Structure formats: C-alpha cells, structure tokens
Amino acid sequence: MTAPGPTGTALVIGEALVDVVVHPGQPARDIPGGSPANVALGLSRLGRDTELDCWIGTDPRGLAVREHLEAAGVRLTPGSDGAARTSTAQATIGANRAATYVFDLDWNPPYPQRKEGTEAPLLVHTGSIAAILAPGASTVEQVLSDYRGTSTICYDPNARPQLMGSPEQAREQVERLIALADLVKCSDEDIAWLYGEDADVEEVLRHWLELGAAIVVVTRGKQGSLALTASGLRTEVPADPTVVVSDTVGAGDSFMGGLEDGIWSEGLVGAERRDALRNIDAAALERVLRHASAIADITVSRAGANPPTRAELDAPTA
C-alpha cells in the first residue's frame, strides 16, 4: 500500500537497543527497542523509506536489533554497528501497565554519510537519550543543524531523568534542540520533570514556539493530546476510552511516528514546506493528531513496541 504524500526519505538518528522486559512473575524477555529506533520502525511500517543512524554491536543482541529493523524495511547507515556491545534498557512493567527503565548504554554514532547524487531526506528525527548523552549528543545536534536547510526537523525530548542529569542541565540542551526543530512532541511527564510539577503546560509549549518550532504537541494520557502552532492554532484530540492497554512500551514513539507520517501525508515535509507547516490549517492539524492517536492506540493494545503497518491501520474495524 503506497504511503500518501511526496516521495522521499526519513533519516532517524538515535539509539537502538534491547529492551529487557520484565513483567511481574514472568521471565525477562529481550525485545529490540530504543525510542528513535521505534520511530524508525513505525515510519517504515507505514511505508516511509527510512534510514536509522544508530550505535549497536555485532553481538547477538545487535544482530537481533538489526534483523528486527531490517525486517520492517529500515536501513541502517554505514558504521551503525561499530559499538563494542549493544546497549540495553531493562523495562519493568508495573501493575498499572506502565514501564520504568534502567539503562546500560554506549552512544557514539557515526555522522550519517549521504551517497553522492542522492537527495537529502525530507524529514530528520531524533530524540530521547541520543540527544542528551555524550559523546553522541554532539553528533546529533550537528546533524540537525546541517539538515535544517533541506529537511523538516522533528524532535521528541522523551525525558529519561536517570540519564539526563539535573532538569536545569537537561532543559538547556533540550531547548537548544527545540530551536532547531519544526515539529516537537513531548508528554506531560516530560514537561513536569523539565520545568517542575507546577509548570503550566501550555505556557511551556508557547515558549517552545517562541524558540522557533512550528508545531508543538503534548500527550496527556487519558486526557488525550494537545497541539499549538506558530500561527496560533490550538487543537485538542481526546483519548479513546475504549482502548484496552496491554502496556505502554513504545506508545509515545508510535504517536511521534504518527505525527511525522501525518504531516508527510499532508504534503508538509521538506525545508521548502516550512512556512506551510507553520501555517497548517485546523482541519489538517486535527487529522494529523487523530492519525497519531490511532497508531498509538494500536501499539498500546499489544505487548511491546509493536506499531502497526499501514494495512493494519487502514483495515476496517469490526
């Protein structure tokens, strides 16, 4: 099934790792994951030509990650398997079905090289650990800066407090990346950690727009999602109360990929479409948010970071 919108490539730069998933009373399971890798997987399953610049090893876990991504059509950039070992994140699933993480990470990806004569990606995504953890974070920031002249830049802070130092330190880095980004998505939990539990969410989002973003989106669990735009739009989409949650692993990543696929379908990717993205109309913005929500709903209804294909998404419901 052909993905709607212009033909082109998405470049994702960020961590791919193995989630060691622990459910109460069950043996641990190794599942390939990592926030940016999940976004790449989601975009590829939706029919987008997707490359991932990451940092895995050629150990058994690294080979499992590569196989998992390539089976969905994701291409790894040259040098992405140069790590001495593949990073892990132990994801413990609580009684509320939410995951908490403990990380063992190495992050030093290669700068993604483009073959001579190939076009720049229409969209570049990063987020989470990759954008914060040294030494690779400097490579990530350079990639966003270099590609801003050709590509739509997308960023998900996806805060991991145990890896990001103090909120004050992380906030400086996060805001520097937001200033390079066109589309920013976060959760209300991200904002609470970065700006304090009493922070006004909409005030923070407006601040991010002032930094230069075109669209900022926050997910709020059962309250649904909220988007603000540089042109002054404010759009909310409620959560579907009928969704039965298996777990929340990869939910935010699926939503992020859905946003990116949504603006792609609306013809709003590529640097030359930046002004159009900033001036997205209300109907298109709502379509994008509902699209992202539908994708995340499917992901949370099944175990692990397992986003839908376009065929699954478009299948009629019973």
Q: Does residue 318 have a pLDDT over 60?
A: no
pLDDT confidence band for 317 (50 / 70 / 90): low
Percent of the chain with pLDDT over 90: 74
Give the residue-averaged pLDDT of 41-54: 98
pLDDT digits (tens, 9 = 90+) for 270-304: 999 999 999 999 999 999 999 999 999 888 888 77
Nearest-10 Cα torsion for 214, 220, 223, 226: 0
Evaluate if residue 1 carries a pLDDT over 70: no
Q: What is the mean pLDDT of residues 92-114?
A: 85
87/57 Cα distance (integer angstroms): 8
For the ranges 1-15, 19-33, 77-91, 127-141, which has the lowest average pLDDT? 19-33
pLDDT at 158: 92
- Between CA 234 and CA 292 the distance in angstroms is 17
Q: Which of 11-25, 75-89, 239-253, 256-270 bottoms out in mean pLDDT, i.e. has the lowest? A: 239-253
Tokens of 38: 């999940």
Nearest Cα residue to 232 out of 209, 198, 199: 209
* Helical (H) or strand (E) element with 2: none
Query: What does the alpha-carbon distance between residue 165 and residue 35 come to, in Å, rounded to a whole number?
Result: 19
pLDDT tens for 206-250 read: 999 999 999 999 999 889 999 999 999 999 999 888 887 876 677
The pLDDT tens digits for 104-160 are 899 999 999 888 888 999 999 999 999 999 999 999 999 999 999 999 999 999 988
Residue 309 per-residue DSSP state? P
Which residue segments constitute the domains of the chain, with CATH numbers given? Answer: 10-307 (3.40.1190.20)
